[in-house]
Structure 1
Amino acid sequence: MPASKSMATDIKAVPVIIAFVVAGFIGLFSETALNMALNSLIVTLGITETTAHWLTTGYLLTLGILVPVSGLILQWFTTRQLFVASLIFSIIGTFVAAIASTFAILMVARVIQAIGTALLLPLMFNTILLIIPPYKRGRVMGIIGLVIMFAPAVGPTLSGIILANLTWNWIFWISLPLLVGALLFGLIYMQNVSTPTKPKIDIFSLILSTIGFGGIVYGFSSSGEGWGSPVVLSTIIIGAIALTIFGFRQVKMEQPMLNLRAFQYPMFTLGLVMVVITMMVILSSMILLPLYLQTSLALTTFAAGLLLLPGGIINGFLSPVMGGLFDKFGPKYLVISGFTLVTGSMFGFSTITMQTASWTIILLHIVMMIGVSMVMMPAQTNGLNQLPPELYPDGTAIMNTLQQVAGAIGTAIAISILSTSTQSFLSTMEDPSSPTNQVLAFTEGVQSSFVFAIVFAIIGLVLSFFIKRVMVEQES
């Protein structure tokens, strides 16, 4: 789905990027902001903790099913059509969530919101690849990285302020006018950057993709029931089998739904692995740290959000800077330095106790987020730069899909280790029901979970020595 050069030169890139940045920020903010309201939802809606987590699982599941299909969708509809559709889904979902009075209605709203996000994220990356020349992509992708990392980072803090003064519905009421504004801005300034080719749709591939990615995400997201649960094991196994068949089918098709030829490009594959590892590390950390701060250090939700805010802000502002450095110097030393910082911070987090000072947590979190800013966009942009334009939709679909899968897997493994280690520690105590022992056991579980993160960070560090800059044409 390459855009012609004449079309690309006629595109006013800045308004297009602004439209995506605003829409993406609000969409990702409302996703993480709701996570901080789960306790309030359990009380207000009269649901269990397991039921409440379906608001997150359902969102991830919808993304896991739709994002792999985005490569096909991008080739069937114009940029404006998809942008407007994504915002309409987001607006409808946000409005339904704002007026929801039961869990069922809120669950439906979350699925509708996820459809909007599943359309927007791949479209955003694909559009950037088409309208921004390779030698400028680092800085622009860094701006996109600011949105992707900054929105989830400020979500918990802002939702803490909202929940301290208003009900959880206001998380959505506040987001709604901003989404409407993004839609109106997009209707004025969004331009079509590609010509739809409308390739043949293979229904069997769609079914395999849905079962495969949906099964993997659902299985790992449901692992809180225990890894021995028949539901968890069966969905992961069925998903893996479906994905294997899906992969073989795509390779043999003349017009595959998801073109796996992207994996023939070594820097794309290496960049993808690094992005997946980083997502696993950061998302497992983002669920462990709030739990640790609220349980081990007995901080309020708002205080915990404030402690994690500096790292998120610094990461957001550094993303465009790292993008500029990538454009100038390439990815190698950025990525190596980034994984070194991430690995060091994971070692630090693996030693935290009930007596650890708040400033230590803030410092370690800042170091981790600086490292993440040095890895994510340079590795991702370098990998996508190696693809020919006709593989841009497939490359962005693969990148976004595996990030969602990695998030589900990393979070599930971290929580599983946390739970297992906590129970193991309590089994050695004479009085396991003691509140002090329970907090000690929980802290031990957090430490063990960060050891898991260390392993993946080290793997990423080793791989970073093999990254090479993809040479691109400079401005003549």
Structure 2
Amino acid sequence: MTAPTEADGYLPEDRPATDVAEFEQEFAGTPGRTPLVIKLLVAATFVVILNETIMINAIPTLMGDFGIDERAAQWLSTIFMLTMAAVIPITGWFLQRVSTRTAYAVAMATFSTGTLLAAVSPAFPVLLVARVVQASGTAVMMPLLMTTLMTVVAQSDRGRVMGQVTLAMSCAPALGPAVSGVLLQLGSWRLIFAVVLPIAAAVGYFGLRQLENVGEPQVSSVSWTSVVLAATGFATLVYGLSQIGHAGAGSTTAFIAAGAVLVAVFAAYQLRLQRSDAPLLDLRTLRHRNFTVSLLLMAAGFMAFLGSMILLPLYLQNPLIRDLSPLQTGLMVMPGGLTMGLLGPQVGKLYDRFGSRPLVIPGSIGMVACLLFLAQISLTTPFALIIGVHVLLMASLAAIFTPVFTIGLGDLPPHLYSHGSSLLGTLQQVAGAIGTALLVVVMTNRADDLGGITDPEAFVGGLQWAFYVGAGMGVVVVLLALLLPSRVEAPEGAPAAH
């Protein structure tokens, strides 16, 4: 039987619920075939997540244009992650309430609006607001992709497909500095957004024409008290961490304590709402051991990953140390980003065949080793050596992320997929924001103790301490990797291979 097409006047949103079920079943047991809906969502997610780190390489330029210091400039990346952490908890409810096409349209339209505002920002505060709008759209795409994947891909084939998703989830942040480096060489930082905008608009338009609805929307209410608690709690906590050693000790401690309390109240309130089956973020996902271990492992991994990523551009572009241009810096980190992207699908295939432990444990050990080497960086470390270690670091991370995503979400029953992907995305972004703020603070404070951030020797001394802290986070990843099983059994109701 041939399905009707758009040429016949049939639009995807006209698909009845029975056809949706047939659509899901069509791909649920087809190993070796990636559903079109996943390909479209991966392309869109790659574009929006690329912007999470695309401003890292532009920090020195923005410091000069707006007259701000490193602490202020790094908020362009931190506020992006913070906004995602505040918005992603809502997506568990949002994705259950609207269709796939509606969620996709909202995400891409919001992201494109933020990109346009960023391109024309007349002042730094406006640019920060634009990043918040961008991040709000990105926050919808990540859980949408993960939830759809878990719905339409059989368990036996998830490693391979999740490996392709690694291109968007991990490779895009790694390539952000390289892309911005090339664009900054051609023009101002505004060119970054001017190039991204038409690409995002095109991906949104053509993706929406081809995208199919997956699943059936459910009507439910949203707890705005939960939204406020999540947004203020996570933002206050990370702001307090970023002010360590910068503001007064009393005010810094107050922000950290207030943020921690608000996050705790948010969690307690979700437990209360679970009694009526109406939580914003269903914490019953944490009852599943493998999901909880994966959640903690991803948090520690992203703290080290994104925190360390901001350090290398600061080192390479420092005029008193290596004095590289943004383009040169981008080219230096590009091999690592490409390595992560190319290895993602291969790691996924290896996971399907051998399980997680032969990949995650060696990968986490390699991550620690690379960060310990970077902690020995000096004023004259050969560039070739830095590139080689960065490539090994990205390869190690590729071996970690794909299996851990697959193990974690695969441990959940289908009705918790959207909440699990939302919780995973929330903690991932908060951890990245904390890692970024923490490592910059460690670097700055140590450099001040050694003679000031403008002293090359002191700057490198601060950088070394920051990489040591990153390696410490990596040790946590190693310990958690030892707790993961090689595979998880398919929960009842999950897609299974024929």
Structure 1 length-normalised TM: 0.91
Q: CA RMSD in A?
A: 2.3
Gaps of 5+ in 2: 1-18, 28-32
- 1:44–1:421 CA distance, 2 compared to 1 (3 A): closer
Q: Give the count of matched residue pairs.
A: 465
Gaps of 5+ in 1: 427-431
CA distance in 1 between counterparts of 2:248 and 2:306 reads 20
1:22 aligns with 2:38: no
1:464 aligns with 2:485: no
- The 8 Å contact of residues 137 and 381 in structure 1, kept in 2 or not, is answered as yes
1:429 equivalent in structure 2: none
1:242 equivalent in structure 2: 262
CA distance in 1 between counterparts of 2:248 and 2:46 reads 34
1:328 aligns with 2:353: yes
Displacement of 1:47 in angstroms is 5.2
* Aligned ranges 1:255-334 → 2 under 5 Å: 255=277, 256-295=279-318, 296-334=321-359
2:13 equivalent in structure 1: none
2:16 equivalent in structure 1: none
1:475 aligns with 2:491: no
CA distance in 1 between counterparts of 2:458 and 2:404 reads 37
1:61 aligns with 2:61: no
Displacement of 1:474 in angstroms is 5.3
2:3 equivalent in structure 1: none
Q: What one-letter code is carried by the residue in structure 1 that aligns with 2:268?
A: F
- The 8 Å contact of residues 57 and 218 in structure 1, kept in 2 or not, is answered as no
- The 8 Å contact of residues 386 and 470 in structure 1, kept in 2 or not, is answered as yes
- The 8 Å contact of residues 61 and 218 in structure 1, kept in 2 or not, is answered as no
Q: What one-letter code is carried by the residue in structure 2 that aligns with 1:281?
A: A
- The 8 Å contact of residues 57 and 326 in structure 2, kept in 1 or not, is answered as yes
SS at match of 2:483: coil
Q: What one-letter code is carried by the residue in structure 1 that aligns with 2:264?
A: T
CA distance in 1 between counterparts of 2:76 and 2:471 reads 29
Identify the range of structure 1 (463-472 vs 331-340) with the bigger mean alpha-carbon deviation. 463-472
- 1:342–1:5 CA distance, 2 compared to 1 (3 A): same
- The 8 Å contact of residues 84 and 429 in structure 2, kept in 1 or not, is answered as yes
Q: What one-letter code is carried by the residue in structure 1 that aligns with 2:343?
A: L
The CA deviation string for residues 82-102 of structure 1, in whole angstroms up to 9 with x for no partner, is: 100000011111122223333
2:448 equivalent in structure 1: 423
1:138 aligns with 2:159: yes
Partner of residue 459 from structure 2, selected from 427, 442, 446: 442
1:391 equivalent in structure 2: 416
Displacement of 1:222 in angstroms is 4.6
Identify the range of structure 1 (338-347 vs 397-406) with the bigger mean alpha-carbon deviation. 338-347
1:454 aligns with 2:471: yes
Identify the range of structure 1 (10-19 vs 403-412) with the bigger mean alpha-carbon deviation. 10-19
CA distance in 1 between counterparts of 2:20 and 2:36 reads 20
Displacement of 1:104 in angstroms is 4.0
- The 8 Å contact of residues 245 and 445 in structure 2, kept in 1 or not, is answered as no
CA distance in 1 between counterparts of 2:442 and 2:240 reads 16
Partner of residue 407 from structure 1, selected from 411, 420, 432: 432
The CA deviation string for residues 52-82 of structure 1, in whole angstroms up to 9 with x for no partner, is: 4443343233212111221111122111101
* Aligned ranges 1:78-157 → 2 under 5 Å: 78-157=99-178
Identify the range of structure 1 (102-111 vs 386-395) with the bigger mean alpha-carbon deviation. 102-111
Identity of aligned residues (%): 33
Q: What one-letter code is carried by the residue in structure 2 that aligns with 1:475?
A: A
Displacement of 1:48 in angstroms is 5.6
SS at match of 1:225: coil
CA distance in 2 between counterparts of 1:440 and 1:32 reads 27
- 1:382–1:183 CA distance, 2 compared to 1 (3 A): same
1:6 aligns with 2:9: no
- 1:29–1:198 CA distance, 2 compared to 1 (3 A): same
